[in-house]
Amino acid sequence: MSFEDHFSGHAPEYAKQRPTYPGELFAYLADQSPSTECAWDCATGSGQAAVALAEFYNAVIATDASAEQVKNASPHPKVNYRVAPAEKSGIPSASCDLVTVAQALHWFDFDRFNEECFRVLRPGGVVAAWSYGLARVSSRIDEIINDFYAGGIDPFWPEGRHYVENQYRDIPFPFAKITPPDFEMTLRWSADQTLAYLRTWSAVQRFKNQHDRDPVDRIAETLRTEWGPGDRTVTWPLTLLIGRV
């Protein structure tokens, strides 16, 4: 089946520049699972979540509809990478304890993906999807990034981004909901690392393809000046949807 591919064109940069998820999240998901035999990381991208899951599960199947993303994913002896769409994974029925979707559920055909989760999961299996919005650094830096997000690149966000802005509240989720604790990603980054991360945004890539210039350049010097020469703490609160079959 066809899919909207927003990331293959910059898969190596995506793999290098995306923030990493907290280990405590994966420990929590393992505790919620009926066992830790097998997890499916759907829309794995660069494999961040898949590799983290491998610390807690005996085996991890990591799928992505983009062959280029899978090609650039982080290798791990416990992770089996496969090219497959979210809605038709090819994974045997009732074979997984956990399904994870990191920063990608908003791109899916919800009904078909939910059916696939019901098929793939064992009784009591868990579905966990999460997303994150804009980073928090300082009031002034946040303002620069927020203005950039809502300014010239706003028309270039693909359909589905509004689900992230609404914190996944309007996504169909027909599982017995589990209320998790709060989790967030926290990193120490330089201004240039943050600018490189902004360049992985799908809207930025679409802007570049249409206008043949990088919109991040417009805010680069302002952000560097405000940031200063050292590293700063960058935080992304996570929005989580967790449920059980």
* pLDDT the model gives residue 18: 72
Q: Report the distance separating Cα 170 and Cα 149, nearest Å.
A: 22
Contact 139, 186 (CB under 8 A): no
Over residues 58-76, mean pLDDT: 95
Which residues are registered as beta bridge partners of 113? Answer: none
Q: What is the 3-state secondary structure (H, E, C) of 205-219?
A: HHHHHHHCCCCCHHH
Q: Report the distance separating Cα 162 and Cα 155, nearest Å.
A: 12
Q: Is the per-residue pLDDT at 16 higher than 70?
A: no
Q: Report the distance separating Cα 238 and Cα 165, nearest Å.
A: 12
DSSP state at residue 16: H
Task: Determine the CATH number of domain 8-134+158-185+236-244.
Answer: 3.40.50.150
Mean pLDDT lowest for which of 36-45, 94-103, 111-120, 194-203? Answer: 194-203
| CA 93 to chain CA mean position, Å | 25
Neighbouring residues of 151: CB distance < 8 A, sequence distance ≥ 6: none
Q: pTM for this structure?
A: 0.86
Over residues 83-93, mean pLDDT: 98
User: What mean pLDDT is reported for the chain?
Assistant: 92
* pLDDT the model gives residue 4: 57
Q: What is the pLDDT of residues 143-178, one digit of tens each?
A: 999 999 988 798 898 888 899 999 999 999 999 999
Contact 32, 127 (CB under 8 A): no
